[in-house]
Amino acid sequence: MSINKETVKKISKLSRIASNEQFEDSMIKDLNSILTFVEQLNELNIKNIEPLSSVVEQKLFQREDVVKIMNEKEDVLKNSPHKNENYFVVPKVIE
Amino acid sequence: MTEKEFDYYLEGQTGKWEVIIGLEVHAQVTSNAKLFSSSSTKFGSDPNSQVSLVDAAMPGMLPVINKYCVEQAIKTGLGLKAKINNFSKFDRKNYFYADLPQGYQISQFKFPIVGEGKVILDMPYGTKEVGIERLHLEQDAGKSLHDQDPQNSFVDLNRSGVALMEIVGKPDLRSPEEVGQYVKKLRSIMRYLNTCDGNMDEGSLRADVNVSVRKVGSTELGTRCEIKNVNSIKFMQQAIEYEAKRQIEIIEQGGAINQETRLFDTKKMETRSMRSKEDAHDYRYFPDPDLLPLELDQDYVDTIKKSLPELPDEKKSRLMNDFGLSSYDASIIISDQEISTYYEEVAKNSDYKLAANWMIVELFGILNKENKEIKDSPVSAKNLSKLINLIKDNTISGKIAKTVFEDMIKGDQDPEVIINKKGLKQQSDPKELEKIIDKIVQSNLDKVEQYKSGKDKLFGFFVGQAMKETQGKGNPKLINDILKEKLK
């Protein structure tokens, strides 16, 4: 698989990363070399091997359905660059 | 009820069209805390007052799954007669939106917790089975308010991270009517199970509606459009009608349908394309590395299965088989758990059929008129049950009972008190009635003559007179019997 300019443009748009000609060219190079490296895995025969979901020999930890107040509204809003008394404020987004 | 034929076809210029509908229902799980955090799920609290650092997606925060939400999904799956998958996984569905602080929604893509199931609908043309494709657990997003400020949107993350069950139905629905019944049935099952309150006004139940059309007789599916996030049954039905007509028009004019996401504008009553989402569809799902697979012991699933309450379908057949109710009456009684609880309370100490009849005709008549739910019923189950027993033991006639009922709704009075106070007790003394009837016969000899010479209809006149004399309190059966005797 090889990465072309269109793919890089699409990925940067989807991940909201601004791109320019120079950035795209360097990305094409980097991503292709990463993919080529990873593609070595294709040489292995994994026909009868189940995909590994985790390397941890452990079961999913589940918690009880109990409400705990971990922090107050002020703490949550504290890090927001733009807020008012109650809400996070963001540039208008509407369909 | 007479069996009708299914007849929802749309007439186009080139012939009849069939509408194919499939729903993805998002049902909010009833739980105290969120799916992956300990914040409260309470509706209507102050904005951003139920947001933990996990819900706000602060760096380094890790999700820990809520056991009860898992149990709720299993229960719902069992209620849908579905296969429970003992192995399921969580994936990240990636997209950017202001009310999704993580930049992804934790969902289940490849391995959902619940597999194929079914829902049975009672339609006027018989029962209809609708397939369930899957049910999976996922997080809800926050809420954006767009109308508070001209330049900005406000974001409230209270809903962010609340557990949802996405119930994906097969494209088995064929009319807005069926869609309505389907959503009602799902809601009823989840209410019986107490897994989702089904409150559409609060957004606890909403659906994405997939619509396509095809010529009657064709077996291939047409290209579908998805109408996003519709939150009332009425809007779903209106959106489907509009969308189906729009598609037929395009195809008949030689065009083709684009597979796309559309919005239903409830003011203009039309669907329109959400162009901005066009390439947002690449969700780049991948397994969430923060969460291990969800593995369930069969014993655990079996224990839950044993603890399930009686569900609508089972209750319906019990009411029909044991209580002798008609399919129609039974389906109304079971449609809502509160209705069926009320019914069983009334019927327990009175008469099954009379109880159903009185609830469906009289009580629901009042409730509909006053726009009330059964839980706000002005008449308690206990007093309705008493009233029915008073009819049953001939203390009052059915007709008088209606008068008594009218008084009962003004403040849930005991029917016996009303009857005594107003002197409405049925006149069931045959000797008294005979006296009255004799008098009527004597003063209407001409009519007696006509009756005897074949004018059968006059019998009603005599009954009416007897009722008038007894101020409606005469026992109708006795009056009938005595009259028949006297007029021989």
Q: A21 lies in a domain?
A: yes
Tokens of residue B382, six digits: 């206990």
Label residue A16 exposed, middle or buried (CB < 10 Å: 0-12, 13-18, 19+): exposed
Q: A71 lies in a domain?
A: no
pTM for the whole structure: 0.83
Alpha helices (H) along B194-297: 233-252
Say whether residue B65 is in contact with chain A using an 8 A CB cutoff.
yes
* For residue A93, pLDDT beyond 90: no
Q: A82 lies in a domain?
A: no
**Helix-strand-coil split of chain A, %, nearest 5:** 40, 5, 50
With beta carbons less than 8 A apart as the criterion, state whether B158 and B129 touch. no
From the list B151, B152, B294, the residue facing A60 with the nearest CB is B294
d(CA B231, CA A79): 33
Strand partners, B265: B270
* For residue A60, pLDDT beyond 60: yes
Say whether residue A70 is in contact with chain B using an 8 A CB cutoff.
yes
* For residue B1, pLDDT beyond 50: no
Q: A83 lies in a domain?
A: no
Nearest chain B residue (CA) to A88: B155
The label of the residue with tokens 């091997």 reads: A49
Residues in B touching A16 (Cβ below 8 Å): 96
From the list A58, A63, A71, the residue facing B53 with the nearest CB is A71
Q: A81 lies in a domain?
A: no
Phi, psi of A67 (to 5 degrees): -80, 130
Label residue B351 exposed, middle or buried (CB < 10 Å: 0-12, 13-18, 19+): middle
Q: A32 lies in a domain?
A: yes
pLDDT at B449: 85
Strand partners, B230: B207
* For residue B424, pLDDT beyond 50: yes
Q: How many Å separate Cα B222 from the centre of its chain?
A: 30
CB atoms near residue B157 (< 10 Å)? 27
* For residue B436, pLDDT beyond 90: no
With beta carbons less than 8 A apart as the criterion, state whether B183 and B196 touch. no
List, in order of start, the domains of chain B with CATH numbers: 10-304 (no CATH), 310-422 (no CATH), 430-486 (1.10.10.410)
The total number of structural domains that make up chain A:
1
Q: A85 lies in a domain?
A: no
In a mutagenesis test of the B interface, which of A11, A50, A93 is the best target, namely the one with the most B β-carbons within 10 Å?
A93
Convert the pLDDT of each residue in B16-74 to its tens digit. 999 999 999 999 999 999 999 999 999 999 999 999 999 999 999 999 999 999 999 99
* ipTM of the prediction greater than 0.95, yes or no: no
With beta carbons less than 8 A apart as the criterion, state whether B97 and A14 touch. no
From the list A16, A63, A71, the residue facing B66 with the nearest CB is A63
With beta carbons less than 8 A apart as the criterion, state whether B346 and B381 touch. yes
Q: A70 lies in a domain?
A: no
pLDDT at B9: 96
Which range of residues forms the domain containing residue A33?
5-43
